[in-house]
Amino acid sequence: MANYEFKLPDIGEGVVEGEVVTWHVSVGDSVSEDDPVVDVMTDKATVTIPSPTDGTVVSLNGEVGDMIAVGSVLIEFDTGVAGTTPVNVSENVPMELEVEPEEVAPPEIEEKKAEIEKPSTKPRTPAPEIVPVITKGTGGSILASPAVRKRAREAGINLGSLSGSGPAGRIRHADIDAFVAGGGAVMGAPPSAYSTKRSGVNEVKIVGLRRKISEQMVKSAFSIPHFSYFEEVDVTELEALRQALNSSRSQDQPKLTYLPFIMMALAKIMPEHPECNGHFYDEDGVVHRHEAVHIGIATQTDRGLYVPVVKNVEAMDVWQAASDLIRVSGDARAGTSSLDDLTGSTFTITSLGRDGGLGATPIINHPEMAILGVHKAREKPVVRNGQIVVRRMMNLSSSFDHRVIDGADGAKLIQHLKRMLEHPAMIFM
């Protein structure tokens, strides 16, 4: 079984070397032809190089940051399939990597633009070849009739993102109907009468950031007796204020969501609720009540949950809070956060907004003592002065460390926050 040596192809006129920016594969990964394997940055553009073959990665030549000459071996593939045991090396990746800023590849558009400008000298590299069409697809995972494939292509739907409801996962017209009707969110049609049973089990190793999250959650959930408290807040006036501010904002001011207002309100009232802001070092039996309000923002990223921090919210105006919120959460998603941005929070907000939900029991970010969950605001019929009226309502879910915060004190914070949000002028007075 011969290994296939994939050399760094000629990626453009006059380019003799490129810097490895991102590996998309690791040793032991099995790849299919056209899967992205590596991003290489030249002085002209960053190019995502697709795999020239199906196979298993045997070796990667070059670390991120290394310069690789055109024509030198980049990756070795084992193109035979039988008998190779995938080696999972991701376990050995040091945890510190998580917080180190990563190079971000410029968007692919740049590369495409370059292609159009110099069509004859800058082909896509390496172009997939059609050679073994005889066998294409039969071993693949997508099972669909030619008519279904054609319809999907014309509708711009990637069949790989659908799950088929037919036997053996075959994608039917009904699956595309369901996918389209669900705005792309529904996975497959209701199973047809002849669907097969599913029996597969996928083993997923809990490593890296996921393992860290897992350990942190256990610590938080099993050392802290959580007291959870729910309330609904009428944000009709806050919404009017938000709209007014957004419509009159200047070019350099960010668009305001509810979060900056909630952060500002918390920073304002926290001095009256000092038991809720800070850290409880349970092993030492000491609570650090902080004067500064550093608000952690639970952020979902491709790599897992991060909690970047907006520092000293008490010293900001709403625009600054909004800008810093966008900055820290954006960096977290892009993987470019500094260590400082990821540490030091005294209170955490988790936004459960976009997808709705009535309530949740947020887990406190140990060693903090309280966390606030913010839900989607929506218009609801409510009773005001004996009349049913439509108001914009938002639910809040909160959890407190019951060892150091009594239920009444936790409830007081939330009730205070509710008054501020319902009469938003108070936030600024």
Partner 1 sequence: MAEVRKCQVLIVGAGPGGYVAGIRSGQLGLDTIVVEGDRAGGTCLIRGCIPSKAMIHAAERFESVSMHSSENGHMGITIDSSPQLNMASLVSWKDSIVDRLNKGVESLLKGSGVELIKGWANFTGPKRCIVSSNDGDVEIEAENVIIATGSSHIDLPFMPCDEEFILSSTGALDLDSLPSKVAIVGGGYIGLELGCALSKLGSEVTVIEGMESILGIFDKELRRPLELWMKKHGVTVHTGALARGAEIKGKGASKKVELAYEKEGEVRTLKVDKILVTVGRRPNTKDWGLETMGVRMDQSGRFIRTDRQCRTNVPGVYAIGDVAGEPMLAHKASAQGEMVAEIISGMAREFDKVAIPAIVFTEPEIVSVGLSPDEARERGEEIIVGKFPLAANGRALTLEAEKTGGFVRVVARESDNVILGIQAVGSHVAELHGEFVLALEMGALLEDISGTVHAHPTMAEAFHESVLKTLGHAIHSV
Q: What is residue 182's three-state secondary structure?
A: coil
CB of 156 to partner 1, least distance (A): 7
CB of 20 to partner 1, least distance (A): 22
Cα gap 248→284, rounded to integer Å: 50
CB of 258 to partner 1, least distance (A): 41
Cα gap 41→17, rounded to integer Å: 9
Identity of the residue, 80 or 190, whose beta carbon is nearer to partner 1 in the bound complex: 80
CB of 25 to partner 1, least distance (A): 18
Distance between the two ends of the chain, CA-based, in angstroms?
Answer: 76
Identity of the residue, 112 or 384, whose beta carbon is nearer to partner 1 in the bound complex: 112
CB of 72 to partner 1, least distance (A): 16
Neighbouring residues of 312: CB distance < 8 A, sequence distance ≥ 6: 292, 293, 294
| 250-265 burial: b if 16+ Cβ within 10 Å, else e | eeeebebbbbbbbbbb
CB of 28 to partner 1, least distance (A): 15
Identity of the residue, 123 or 254, whose beta carbon is nearer to partner 1 in the bound complex: 123
Identity of the residue, 12 or 367, whose beta carbon is nearer to partner 1 in the bound complex: 12
Identity of the residue, 198 or 354, whose beta carbon is nearer to partner 1 in the bound complex: 198
Please spell the DSSP secondary structure of 209-265, one letter per residue.
Answer: HHHHHHHHHHHHHHHS-EEEEEEEEE-HHHHHHHHHHHHT--TTSPPP-HHHHHHHH
Active site residue: 341, 406, 409, 423, which one? 406
CA distances from 197 to 161, 191, 209, 346, 360 (A): 20, 10, 34, 49, 33
Whether 177 sits among the annotated catalytic residues: the reply is no
Burial of 163 (0-12, 13-18, 19+ CB in 10 A): middle
List interacting residues with partner 1 (CB under 8 A). 80-82, 116, 119-120, 123-124, 126-139, 143-146, 149-150, 153-154, 156, 166-170, 196
Whether 24 sits among the annotated catalytic residues: the reply is no
Active site residue: 34, 282, 402, 409, which one? 402
CB of 200 to partner 1, least distance (A): 9
Q: Which two tokens stand for residue 99?
A: 């917080």
Residue type, 412: K
Helices 258-269, 236-247: inter-axial angle, 10-degree rounding: 110
Identity of the residue, 117 or 302, whose beta carbon is nearer to partner 1 in the bound complex: 117
Identity of the residue, 112 or 219, whose beta carbon is nearer to partner 1 in the bound complex: 112
Cα gap 55→82, rounded to integer Å: 10
CA angle 243, 249, 252 (to 5 degrees): 140
Q: Which two tokens stand for residue 89?
A: 């090396």
Please spell the DSSP secondary structure of 52-90, one letter per residue.
Answer: SSSEEEEEE-S-TT-EEETTSEEEEEE---TTPPPP--G
Residue 356 gets the label, from left (phi > 0), alpha (psi -120 to 50) or beta, of left
Point out the residues that are catalytic.
Answer: 402, 406
